[in-house]
């Protein structure tokens, strides 16, 4: 029977295919062959020993030159136990392996059948320094047949990541069978692209990624397959861009003398050059007949809201409405307050004293009471509200608009593509979309993740911003610094300023879900009373967290903004967007529990007025640890791009994209969106060009199939956002 790429894995046969199907979810031969080795063991690896440390993983190919069974008394059970000491000779040296066994039968089998003198195999385990020499204890091993000779073994042995009990050898065997059977390996690259990129063909690439004879083969296979991944994802994105360009939208060019012009006249500050340039770009695009899809990235505090507000006003001046989607209730409420304040009588449409042609700003969150909710819904549906601000409650079916012309999504890293799409369907014709994020995204990630959006960036902060100094308070090494931290809070408050204290959790009784046994994290409900009775006695302290009733949240935020509260003890609900310029100090407790970008966001809440700020990262983490290093990195730079790179590099690539990489089929296995910038860029150009010549992808069925699969899989989401 002919075995093709799309044949079921069962045609491969062998002992382990059904186990592999269960463990990884692979369905076709193509899926199976898409599980690539994680590493390769070269025959000579012992020369590296000097550079390795205790605990490092070492794999080697070698021949057993001696094998000695010893017995000893197990200290716990007082029974006789067995130790097999095996010396293995590799091409460039030899190493001791030690195997421990409890039962005579396994110990004898190991000594006589598995690891007799002369046996050849691959061994893999963690290095240990013992009795003045390196050794591996109970390494995983795979032995070759009796007649196998070390000299004839391939120079590189592939090692697959073991998944749910399937060992590397079981993958290797099954994949070897599949490679021998499969008739044709599909070609996803146009010939001219392959030649221009100097890539090998798909067939040898796939064979060599699994069974390279030489390192050079492995390298060229990887180069080719990596490019494939970039090309397929970029084709998906190019198709999306083409679809957007082919879609019609209502142009919203604005109106001279309208709300926007009147707003500009009363703006209490001048826009920065960056704000002006981005605003112009957006304004032009809103006037076009196809939808704008723009990502606005800007450092924390760079003034994105006013740019968005100007766009919203232009749309209102053109007879349309704008929706502003915020990730949290606190932020939605704050936007409503500050936008209403900035607009003044321009936002009092229909009310006595409203300016002529004024509009309204409606707020729609999940927790409104019935009356307020009904009114907001009516104003959105009737068109009285030119601007509707809300949380995910805006996405519900009941919410309708008279003429939705613009969707603004604030702090996009909290919203996925589905939400964006859900809002867009509420418009008669596709709306313009402006997505904002303060978590700067490296260019390559933006190109992959936001490949269907055009990007603008605000790099400068408005003039007159204070400096924010960040200091790590390592309480294990410097316990007395914590006292000093609270003293600094008191000093700032004495100057009329305000402070945030951020905790990792709400309730002291809650266990840390990630590490139930770890040192307990400080909680809002415990820290606030502690401070009131202790270090910050006499100051006005309030609590804010997600579990408070919405009215209470609103009240607390309002009184903090009004300066009636000195210290706000909160969770990360204040992480994004919150804007209280008089706040100058922030103490983050258990700072090691927050991500790099999160810390950067958090400290963006202070130093927003003219005063300089101080951010204290309090941590009980080991002074010499990766966690502490991260905190020092955050303290060391205020460049959000730099920090977001550090952040992304510390996560697994799949998490960057929001994909669970659990075996099965995955779109990005070799390509790194962080490191392969050039490849992605070239593939993007090539994919766009190829799509122009073959919009239906009919010339390359394999490419069409790969693109269709990706578009339909959940993984398509990663191409938008996590
Ligand atoms: P972010 O980009 O982090 O969302 P905001 O839009 O909240 O920042 O702006 C932060 C603060 O800076 C707000 O109080 C806003 O009114 C103010 N602001 C915005 N643009 C300017 C400017 N050009 N000059 C002075 N202040 C500005
Ligand atoms: Mg903001």
Tokens for 352?
Answer: 């006595």
The atom number, within ligand 1, closest to the CA of 272 reads 23
The pLDDT confidence band at residue 664, using thresholds 50, 70 and 90, is very low
Rounded average pLDDT over 119-124: 85
Q: Domain limits at 502?
A: 468-653
Instruction: Find the length of the chain.
Output: 722
Domain with residue 92: its CATH number is 2.40.50.140
Residue nearest to atom 3 of ligand 1 (CA): 301
Q: What is the pLDDT of residue 661?
A: 39
703 belongs to a structural domain: no
The answer as to whether 226 is a domain residue is no
In a shared domain, residues 445 and 377: yes
Highest mean pLDDT among 57-66, 393-402, 431-440, 635-644: 393-402
Q: What is the mean pLDDT of residues 59-82?
A: 89
Q: What digits encode the pLDDT tens for the residues 683-692? A: 999 999 999 9
% of the chain with per-residue pLDDT over 70? 88
Same domain membership, residue 489 and residue 401:
no
What is the pLDDT at residue 514? 59
Give pLDDT, residue 574.
82
* Distance separating alpha carbons of residues 40 and 397, to the nearest angstrom: 53
The residues near 9 (Cβ < 8 Å, ≥ 6 apart) are 17, 20, 21, 26, 27, 28, 29, 31, 32, 178
**Ligand 2 center to 504 CA (angstroms):** 22
CATH no. for residue 497?
A: 3.40.50.300
Percent of the chain whose pLDDT exceeds 90: 49
Whose C-alpha lies nearest to ligand 1, atom 20? 303
Which tens digit of pLDDT belongs to each residue from 592-645? 998 888 898 899 889 887 788 999 999 998 888 888 888 998 999 888 777 877
Q: Ligand 1: which of 266, 299, 462, 575 to mutate, most ligand atoms within 8 Å of CB?
A: 462
Closest ligand 1 atom to 608 CA: 11
Average pLDDT, the chain: 86
Mean pLDDT is lowest, of 511-520, 632-641, 691-700, for 511-520
In a domain, 341, yes or no: yes
| Amino acid 416: pLDDT | 53
Q: Is 460 in the pocket of ligand 1 (CB under 6 A)?
A: no
Q: Please tell me the predicted confidence (pLDDT) of residue 146.
A: 63
The atom number, within ligand 1, closest to the CA of 270 reads 23
Give the phi and the psi of residue 209 in degrees, each rounded to 5: -70, -30
Q: Is the pLDDT of residue 39 over 80?
A: yes
Does ligand 1 lie within 6 Å of residue 640's CB atom?
no
- Give the per-residue pLDDT at 47: 65
Q: Give the range among 151-165, 459-473, 549-563, 577-591 with minimum mean pLDDT.
A: 151-165
Task: Provide the 3-class DSSP secondary structure of residue 44.
Answer: coil
Please give the residue that has the higher pLDDT: either 592 or 415.
592
Q: Is the CB of 120 under 6 A from ligand 1?
A: no
Average pLDDT over residues 519-547: 93
68 and 124 in a single domain? The answer is yes
More confident of the two residues 574 and 261: 261
Same domain, 472 and 453: no
Inform me whether the pLDDT recorded for 283 exceeds 90.
yes
Summarised one tens digit per residue, pLDDT across range 78-102 is 899 999 999 998 877 889 999 999 9
* Ligand 2 centre distance from Cα of residue 106 (Å): 65
Identify whether 484 is part of a domain: yes
By most ligand atoms within 8 Å of CB, the mutation choice from 272, 306, 603 for ligand 1 is: 306
Ligand 1: which atom is nearest the Cα of residue 307? 6
Domain boundary among 635, 653, 671: 653
Least confident of 45-59, 339-353, 415-429: 415-429
Q: Which ligand is nearest to the CA of 339?
A: 1
The whole-number pLDDT of residue 662 equals 39
Residues 513 and 427 in one domain: no
Given this model, what pLDDT does residue 218 score? 95
Alpha carbon of 634 to ligand 1 centroid (Å): 23
Give the mean pLDDT of 549-562. 90
Ligand 1 centre from 566 Cα, in Å? Answer: 23
- The pairing of strands 156-159 and 39-42 is antiparallel
Name which residue leads in pLDDT, 453 or 386.
Answer: 386
Our answer on whether the CB atom of 45 is closer than 6 Å to any ligand 1 atom is: no
Instruction: Please give the pLDDT value at position 659.
Output: 39
CB of 405 within 6 A of ligand 1: the answer is no
The residue whose C-alpha atom lies closest to atom 17 belonging to ligand 1 is 303
pLDDT tier at 55 (50, 70, 90 boundaries)?
confident
**Alpha-carbon gap, residue 29 to 21, rounded angstroms:** 11
The answer on 611 and 488 residing in a single domain is yes
**pLDDT at 525 > cutoff 70:** yes
Residue 464 CA to ligand 1 centre (angstroms): 11
pLDDT reported for residue 450: 60
Domain co-membership, 280 together with 425: yes
C-alpha to C-alpha distance for 206 and 200, rounded to whole angstroms? 10
- Same domain? For 276 and 131 the reply is no
Q: How many domains does the chain have?
A: 3
Mean pLDDT of the region 517-536:
89
Q: Among the atoms of ligand 1, which is closest to the Cα of residue 581?
A: 14
CA 473 to centroid of ligand 1, rounded, Å: 30
Counting ligands in written order, the one closest to the CA of 579 is: 1
Q: How confident is the model at residue 660 (pLDDT cuts 50, 70, 90)?
A: very low
Q: Who wins on pLDDT, 597 or 523?
A: 523
- Please name the residue whose Cα sits nearest to atom 25 of ligand 1: 462
Higher pLDDT among residues 150 and 184, named by residue = 184
One domain for residues 417 and 529 = no
Domain boundary among 155, 177, 198: 155
**Would you say the CB of residue 579 lies under 6 angstroms from ligand 1?**
yes
Report pLDDT for 74: 85
Atom index in ligand 1 nearest the CA of residue 464 equals 25
Q: For residue 304, which atom of ligand 1 is closest to its CA?
A: 2
Last residue of a domain, one of 407, 436, 458: 458
Residue 269 in domain: yes
The set of residues, in sequence order, having a beta carbon less than 8 Å from that of 373 and lying 6+ positions away, is: 364
Any ligand 1 atom below 6 A from CB of 605 = no
Residue 356: inside a domain, yes or no?
Answer: yes
Report which of residues 354 and 393 the model is more confident about.
Answer: 393
In this structure, the answer to whether residues 269 and 368 fall within a common structural domain is yes
Q: Lowest-confidence range among 64-68, 302-306, 319-323, 716-720?
A: 716-720
> From the CB of 607, is ligand 1 less than 6 Å away?
no
Greater confidence, 417 or 393?
Answer: 393
Mean pLDDT within 482-494: 95
Query: Residue 568: inside a domain, yes or no?
Result: yes
- Measured CA to CA, the distance from residue 461 to residue 272 in angstroms comes to 8
Q: Is the CB of 276 inside a 6 Å radius of any atom of ligand 1? A: no
Residues 330-388 pLDDT 10s:
889 889 999 999 999 999 887 767 778 899 999 999 888 899 999 999 999 999 999 99
Place of tokens 């819904």: 377
Ligand 1 atom with the shortest distance to the CA of 342: 16
* pLDDT band, residue 442 (cuts 50/70/90): low
The finding on whether 271 has its CB within 6 A of some atom of ligand 1 is yes
Ligand 1 centroid distance, CA of 579 (Å)? 9
Q: Judging by beta carbons within 10 Å of its beta carbon (0-12, 13-18, 19+), is residue 271 exposed, middle or buried?
A: middle
**pLDDT for the residue numbered 721:** 34
Query: Residue 420: inside a domain, yes or no?
Result: yes
**Residues 378 and 448 both lie in one domain:** yes
Instruction: Give phi and psi for 65, each to the nearest 5.
Output: -105, -20
Task: Tell me the C-alpha distance between 675 and 517, whole Å.
Answer: 36
pLDDT recorded at residue 720: 41
**pLDDT score of 658:** 39
Q: Which of 425, 449, 435 is nearest to 716 (CA)?
A: 449
On whether both 434 and 397 belong to a single domain, the answer is yes
Compute how many other C-beta atoms are within 10 angstroms of the C-beta atom of residue 80: 13
Atom 4, ligand 1: which residue's CA is nearest?
304
Q: In the prediction, which pLDDT does 177 show?
A: 93
Q: What is the mean pLDDT of residues 522-527?
A: 94
């Amino acid at each position: 029977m002919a075995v093709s790429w799309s044949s079921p894995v069962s045609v491969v046969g062998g002992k382990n295919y059904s186990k592999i199907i269960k463990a990884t979810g692979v369905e076709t031969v193509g899926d199976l062959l898409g599980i690539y080795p994680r590493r390769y063991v070269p025959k000579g690896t012992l020369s590296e020993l000097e550079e390795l440390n205790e605990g490092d993983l070492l794999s080697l190919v070698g021949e057993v030159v001696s094998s000695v069974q010893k017995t000893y008394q197990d200290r716990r059970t007082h029974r006789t136990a067995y130790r097999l000491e095996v010396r293995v000779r590799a091409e460039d040296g030899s190493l001791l392996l030690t195997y421990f066994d409890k039962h005579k039968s396994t110990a004898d089998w190991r000594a006589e059948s598995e690891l007799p003198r002369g046996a050849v195999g691959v061994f893999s385990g963690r290095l240990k320094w013992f009795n003045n020499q390196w050794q591996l204890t109970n390494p995983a091993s795979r032995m070759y047949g009796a007649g196998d000779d070390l000299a004839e073994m391939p120079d590189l042995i592939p090692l697959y990541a073991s998944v749910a009990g399937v060992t590397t050898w079981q993958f290797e065997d099954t994949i070897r069978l599949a490679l021998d059977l499969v008739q044709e390996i599909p070609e996803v690259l146009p010939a001219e692209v392959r030649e221009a990129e100097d890539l090998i063909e798909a067939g040898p690439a796939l064979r060599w990624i699994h069974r390279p004879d030489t390192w050079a083969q492995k390298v060229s296979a990887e180069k080719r397959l990596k490019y494939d991944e970039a090309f397929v994802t970029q084709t998906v994105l190019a198709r999306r861009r083409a679809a957007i360009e082919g879609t019609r939208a209502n142009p919203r060019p604005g109106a001279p003398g309208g709300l926007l012009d009147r707003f500009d006249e009363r703006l209490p500050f001048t826009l920065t050059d960056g704000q002006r340039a981005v605003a112009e770009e957006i304004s032009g695009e809103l006037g076009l007949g196809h939808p704008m899809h723009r990502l606005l990235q800007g450092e924390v505090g760079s003034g994105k809201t006013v740019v968005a507000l100007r766009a919203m006003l232009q749309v209102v001046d053109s007879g349309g409405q704008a929706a502003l989607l915020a990730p949290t209730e606190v932020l939605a409420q704050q936007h409503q307050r500050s936008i209403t304040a900035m607009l003044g009588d321009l936002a009092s449409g229909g009310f006595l004293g409203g300016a002529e042609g004024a509009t309204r700003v409606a707020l729609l969150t999940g927790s409104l009471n019935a009356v307020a909710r009904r009114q907001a819904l009516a104003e959105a549906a009737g068109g009285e509200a030119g601007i509707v601000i809300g949380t995910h409650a805006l996405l519900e079916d009941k919410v309708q608009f008279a003429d939705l012309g613009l969707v603004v999504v604030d702090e996009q890293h909290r919203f996925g593509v589905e939400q964006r799409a859900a809002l867009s369907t509420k418009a008669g014709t596709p709306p313009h979309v402006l997505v904002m994020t303060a978590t700067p995204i490296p260019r390559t990630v933006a190109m992959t993740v936001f490949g269907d959006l055009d990007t603008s960036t605000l790099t400068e902060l408005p003039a007159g911003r204070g400096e924010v100094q960040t200091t790590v308070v390592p309480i294990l090494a410097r316990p007395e610094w914590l006292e000093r931290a609270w003293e600094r809070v008191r000093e700032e408050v004495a100057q009329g300023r305000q402070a945030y204290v951020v905790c990792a959790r709400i309730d002291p009784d809650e266990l840390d879900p990630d590490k139930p046994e770890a040192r307990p994290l400080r909680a809002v409900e415990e820290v606030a009373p502690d401070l009131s009775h202790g270090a910050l006695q006499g100051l006005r302290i309030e609590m804010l967290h997600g579990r408070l009733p919405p009215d209470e949240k609103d009240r607390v935020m309002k009184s903090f903004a009004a300066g009636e509260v000195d210290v706000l003890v909160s969770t990360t609900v204040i992480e994004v967007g919150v804007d209280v310029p008089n706040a100058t100090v922030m103490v983050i407790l258990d700072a090691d529990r927050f991500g790099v970008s999160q810390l950067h966001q958090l400290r963006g809440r202070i130093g927003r007025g003219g005063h300089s700020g101080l951010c204290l990262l309090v941590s009980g983490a080991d002074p010499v640890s990766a966690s502490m290093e991260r905190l020092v990195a955050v303290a060391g730079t205020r460049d959000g791009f730099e920090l977001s790179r550090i952040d992304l590099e510390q996560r697994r690539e799949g998490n960057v994209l929001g994909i669970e990489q659990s075996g099965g089929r995955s779109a990005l296995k070799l390509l790194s969106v962080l490191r392969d910038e050039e490849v992605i860029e070239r593939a993007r150009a090539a994919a766009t060009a190829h799509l122009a010549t073959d919009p239906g992808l009919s010339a390359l069925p394999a490419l069409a199939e790969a693109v269709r699969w990706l578009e339909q899989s959940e993984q398509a989401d990663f191409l938008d956002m996590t």
